[in-house]
Amino acid sequence: MTTIDRRTFLALGGTAAVAGVLGLSGCGPSGPPARRAGTLTWWDEFQPLEALEQATFDAASGATGVGVDYTVYDPAGLGSALQLAQQSGLMPDVFTNGFGIPALALVENGWVRPLDLPDEALARFPEGTLLEGLHTFDGRVYSFPLFTSRQHVSLTWFDRDLVERAGADPSTGPRTWDEFRQVARRITRGGEAHGWIEGLGLTDRMRQHVIDLAAGAGAQLSFTEASADSPGVADARTGDYPFDGDEFVAVLEFLGSLVHDGVMFPSSTSLDVRTARARWAGGAAGLFLDGTWNVGVLTGQFPDFLPRVGVGNMPTPDGTARAVNGPVGGSFWLSSATAEPEAATRILATMTGADYAAGMAAAMDQPPADAGAVDRADVPDLYRQAVGILQDTVTPAPSPLERQPAVGLVLSEMVQVRPTLGEIVQGYLGGNVDDVRAELRGFTDRLRAERDRAVALVNARGHDVGVDDWRRDDVAEPTTTGSRS
Environment class of 230 (CB within 10 Å of its CB; exposed 0-12, middle 13-18, buried 19+): buried
DSSP 91: -
Instruction: Tell me what pLDDT residue 479 has.
Output: 54
Strand partners, 71: 43
Neighbours of 474 (CB within 10 A): 10
Distance (Å, whole) CA 109 – CA 34:
22
Residue type, 93: D
Q: What angle do CA 282, 367, 375 make, to 5 degrees?
A: 100
Q: Are strands 39-44 and 67-72 parallel, antiparallel or unpaired?
A: parallel
Query: Model's pTM, two decimal places?
Result: 0.87
pLDDT at 384: 96
* pLDDT beneath 50: ranges in the chain: 1-34, 480-485
> CATH assignment of 150-328+381-485?
3.40.190.10
* Number of residues in the chain: 485
- pLDDT at 108 (0 to 100): 87
Cα 265 to Cα 271: distance, rounded to the nearest angstrom: 10
Nearest to 78 by CA among 29, 112, 39: 29
**What Cα–Cα distance (Å) separates residue 304 from each residue in 70, 238, 291?**
31, 49, 20
In angstroms, rounded to a whole number, what is the distance separating the alpha carbons of residues 174 and 196?
A: 12
CATH code for residues 6-144+329-368: 3.40.190.10
484: burial class by Cβ within 10 Å (0-12, 13-18, 19+)? middle
* Chain region(s) in the chain for CATH 3.40.190.10: 6-144+329-368, 150-328+381-485
Task: Kindly report, residue by residue over 142-191, the tens digit of the pLDDT.
Answer: 999 999 999 999 999 999 999 999 999 999 999 999 999 999 999 999 99
